Amino acid sequence: MRVVIACGGTGGHVYPALAVAEAVRARDSSAAVLFIGSGALASRVVRASGWPLVQVAARPLPRRISWRLPWALLVGSAGMIQGLRRLLRFRPGVVLSTGGYAAAPVGAAAAVLRVPLVLQEQNLHPGVANRLLRRFARAVSVPHASVVSAFGSKAVVTGVPVSRGALHGDRARGLQRFGLDSTRLTILVLGGSQGARSVNEAMVEAVPHLADPGGLQIVHQTGPAHEAWVRTRVAGVPALRYLAVGYIDDVADAYACADLVVCRAGASTLAEVTAHGLPCIVVPYPHAAEGHQDANARLHERAGAAVVVLDRELSGGALAALVNRLRGEPATLRAMSASSARMGRPEAAAEVAALVLSAAGKEPM
């Protein structure tokens, strides 16, 4: 069986695509998978994961009418022609689109060639590419029941796919790998692979205000550009264990050690957090398209799995006060953990893979 996965743009589209590719290969070891996308991130991450990728031309559609729209449509048309050529050459039995501007031309090419198309939507407000392609899709994977109405009878609630590498952590191995103390409460700070400046600054400013630093340890993914700055700023509190790293390769082990997570509200990040049943303090990225992160964060807050702090209200003092309060309320942390675990969908990638194989006629729907 041959499968094309169309993705690109942001990590929120690329990482779920990688998770589904793993799951497809786990179900069918002979499956040939080709990624088609656009952008430096997709090129770097997909190829580093060992999957073949070819590029097509694509540009984001502007949110408002402007001079950029004709150019984006022209580039997208060229990308569709390239997509047609790629599909004719590879001859897939099914195309999976995980959204993003780079996926739209390939999904359109699949529709023209009548190749079965499956969509995977990560957000509570469906993206432009998936909204444009939904009429041609055989099935649409959605993250939550509230999204079903956007895709009608084609929608299947699966959750957001998470890779096996982010799921199967080992606490004992993580404690040793990160040099942590098993008796201390562990906070994991995640700002995404590139870091989050406002989260980094607030975390650094919170350090002097944290109660009982000797009973606390922090593992902080700062993003490569901010690592040295964070390390320098937190060096003055000797009782506090603070590990600042640019990027955490073994994130599953970090999750296995964590008692509380501080993070942005990207769909993939929250899918990982809930798959591990962890409570979190969520700071939505204020410039995410169509307020995706605000919606994601509020959903988790309403479920009791998270506390939301808006980026404009984030400060070191506010973050420290919240951490201190939650540390002093173990029953609240336990309740948040239970709510998080109920939201978690660790089998989402396998469920989406089943939709893909079904569309290709390899498994029953």
- In this structure, the answer to whether residues 8 and 156 fall within a common structural domain is yes
Q: What is the pLDDT of residue 66?
A: 61
- Among 57, 139, 60, smallest CA distance to 97 is for 139
Q: How far apart are CA 76 and CA 102, in angstroms?
A: 8
| Residue 194 confidence (pLDDT) above 90 | no
The DSSP symbol for 276 reads T
Range of the domain at 230: 169-343
| Residue 5 confidence (pLDDT) above 80 | yes
C-alpha pair distances (Å), 7 with each of 16, 46, 274, 292, 339? 9, 10, 24, 18, 31
Instruction: Kindly give the pairing relationship between strand 94-97 and strand 260-263.
Output: unpaired
- In this structure, the answer to whether residues 221 and 288 fall within a common structural domain is yes
Instruction: For residues 236-260, give the mean pLDDT.
Output: 91
Within a domain: residue 122? Answer: yes
* Residue corresponding to tokens 């990225």: 285
- In this structure, the answer to whether residues 178 and 113 fall within a common structural domain is no
Within a domain: residue 364? Answer: no
- In this structure, the answer to whether residues 203 and 302 fall within a common structural domain is yes
| Residue 235 confidence (pLDDT) above 90 | no
Within a domain: residue 338? Answer: yes
pLDDT in tens, 121-173: 999 989 888 998 999 999 999 999 999 999 999 999 999 999 998 999 999 99
C-alpha pair distances (Å), 243 with each of 92, 113, 248, 317? 45, 51, 11, 21
Which amino acid does the sequence have at 88? L
User: 44 or 295: which carries more pLDDT confidence?
Assistant: 295
| Residue 60 confidence (pLDDT) above 60 | yes
**Token couple for 134:** 């939904």
- In this structure, the answer to whether residues 337 and 351 fall within a common structural domain is no
Helix intervals (H) in 168-284 = 171-178, 197-206, 227-233, 251-257, 267-275
- Among 43, 21, 20, smallest CA distance to 34 is for 21
Domain count, the chain: 2
Instruction: Give the torsion through C-alpha atoms of 277, 279, 285, 286, to 10 deg.
Output: 130
- In this structure, the answer to whether residues 111 and 35 fall within a common structural domain is yes
- In this structure, the answer to whether residues 147 and 9 fall within a common structural domain is yes
CATH of the domain at 155: 3.40.50.2000
Instruction: For residues 5-26, give the mean pLDDT.
Output: 90
Q: How far apart are CA 298 and CA 253, in angstroms?
A: 27
CA angle 346, 304, 219 (to 5 degrees): 65
Which amino acid does the sequence have at 361? G
User: 326 or 44: which carries more pLDDT confidence?
Assistant: 326
Full strand arrangement of the beta sheet holding 2-8: 53-55, 32-38, 2-8, 94-97, 117-120, 139-142, 155-157
- In this structure, the answer to whether residues 200 and 313 fall within a common structural domain is yes
In a 13 Å sphere around the CA of 54, the CA atoms on its Cβ side amount to 14
Q: What is the pLDDT of residue 196?
A: 83
Q: How far apart are CA 138 and CA 225, in angstroms?
A: 42
Across-strand partners of 156? 141
- In this structure, the answer to whether residues 175 and 106 fall within a common structural domain is no
- In this structure, the answer to whether residues 256 and 150 fall within a common structural domain is no
User: 8 or 194: which carries more pLDDT confidence?
Assistant: 8
pLDDT in tens, 321-342: 999 999 999 999 999 999 999 9
Q: What is the pLDDT of residue 193?
A: 58
Q: How far apart are CA 23 and CA 348, in angstroms?
A: 9
- Among 30, 29, 3, smallest CA distance to 17 is for 3
DSSP string spanning 101-159?
TTHHHHHHHHHHHT--EEEE--SSS--HHHHHHGGG-SEEEESSGGGHHHHGGGEEE--
Q: What is the pLDDT of residue 129?
A: 85
Q: How far apart are CA 276 and CA 272, in angstroms?
A: 6
- In this structure, the answer to whether residues 46 and 134 fall within a common structural domain is yes
- Among 223, 244, 225, 224, smallest CA distance to 233 is for 244
**Percent of the chain with pLDDT strictly greater than 90:** 72
| Residue 364 confidence (pLDDT) above 60 | no
Which range is least confidently modeled, 74-83, 171-180, 256-265? 74-83
Within a domain: residue 365? Answer: no
Q: What is the CA radius of gyration of the chain?
A: 21
| Residue 208 confidence (pLDDT) above 60 | yes
User: Is the CA virtual torsion 15, 12, 78, 81 positive or negative?
Assistant: positive
- In this structure, the answer to whether residues 195 and 325 fall within a common structural domain is yes
> What is the helix (H) or strand (E) element at residue 64, kind and residue range?
none
Which amino acid does the sequence have at 152? G
Mean pLDDT rounded to a whole number for the chain:
91
User: 49 or 66: which carries more pLDDT confidence?
Assistant: 49
